[in-house]
Amino acid sequence: MIGTTLKAKSPIPLGSYVSMIVAALLIVLAVTIGEDVGFKHLTLAAIWPFCLSLILFIMTRRRFHVEICEKHLHVTEPHHEEIPYASFLAVQRDNQGTAKRRALFVHHQQGVLAIPDRVGIPSGELLLFLQEWIPPGRREDLPDELQHHLDAFRNKFGSDRVFAFTPRHVPTRGTYGRFGRALGLTCMLAGILWPIVATLFEDRKFKSEGWISSGVSLFFVGAIFYWLFAMLRRLPGGQKKWHHSGLVISPLGLSVIQGKLRGEMRWDELKKLEYPVKKKFFDVAANNKVGGIYLDFGGGGVNLLDIYCHPLQIIHERMKAYWQG
């Protein structure tokens, strides 16, 4: 496997095709009408779907190129970085796709590398190869309070029965909120183009003031929209101090520090363990738990966020084994 190059290219998204078709239909309608003012209004209206098609194409049309070296993965596309095997934390397989073709997620100390399902090597073989490089976790990455709990549990139950999970250096940057950010960028780009094109179209019959004011407003709305989705992407579950978190799981129970959440819980107190939490219509409380592991202890619930070095799937399996065992 050493020396192999993984290559893939993302397909053009359906939304990009649809938006371009809408823009083309508006242009055809403008040409068909032929009337000067109507042509200009329809042409300006076509700018927005054209911008959306362009933004979606740029955001999703990415190449993937990774070289498997002796001591690291050398990534050149979609961005440039070197990921040492010593920084590996876990390798997770996507639950969608066929048995031989599924995307992989390599969790490492700097973030997550998403490997597409079409890279020339069956995902099962690649999964086994990458998992062999995962080193054991480090006690020093836990908050001081949890280090004492970890030492006590390991002295009582043994190191092989106690598991520590530390936070990632950066939150996962997947496709979450991508379409929202695309809409924000679309509004910003259209907000710039509308005043420019409207000014070029202006004459005695066509007044550009309305398109100029609309373009300025659209730009600021898009900027706010993009900022909101970008911040939502960077702050897992709204936790501002997520990087000071930690989790220790033992046969007796668990100890956790996650933002303002601090506590110890025994498995005999746990009433319900839910993962993955599914969205429910008209249930705001349930939807606030989406994206984490929800533990119901009768008197209250705890939601463990996707901020740890190891995938939530592995953490859930450790919890479920002790809770049901």
**Would you give the DSSP letter of residue 119?**
S
Burial of residue 293 (number of CB atoms within 10 Å: 0-12, 13-18, 19+): buried
Question: Whole-prediction pTM value?
Answer: 0.57
- Residue segments in the chain with a per-residue pLDDT below the cut of 50: 96-99, 173-175, 237-238, 281-289
pLDDT of 125 reads 83
Structure-block tokens of residue 262:
């601090």
Give the C-alpha separation, 103 to 117, whole Å.
4
pLDDT of 156 reads 93
pLDDT, tens only, 248-287: 999 999 999 987 888 899 999 999 998 877 655 444 444 3
pLDDT of 181 reads 87
Q: Is the peptide bond before 78 cis (omega within 30 degrees of 0)?
A: yes
pLDDT of 140 reads 62
Q: Which residues contact 312 (CB under 8 A, 6 or more apart)?
A: 275, 276, 292, 293, 304, 306
Angle between helices 178-201 and 209-234 (to 10 degrees): 160
Around 120, how many Cα atoms within 13 Å sit in the side-chain half-sphere? 11
pLDDT of 281 reads 43
Q: Which residues contact 234 (CB under 8 A, 6 or more apart)?
A: 171
pLDDT of 63 reads 78
Burial of residue 242 (number of CB atoms within 10 Å: 0-12, 13-18, 19+): buried
* DSSP β-ladder status, 111-115 and 261-266: unpaired
Around 34, how many Cα atoms within 13 Å sit in the side-chain half-sphere? 1
User: How many Cβ atoms are within 10 Å of 225's Cβ, its own excluded?
Assistant: 19
Rounded to 5°, the CA angle 246-247-252 comes to: 155
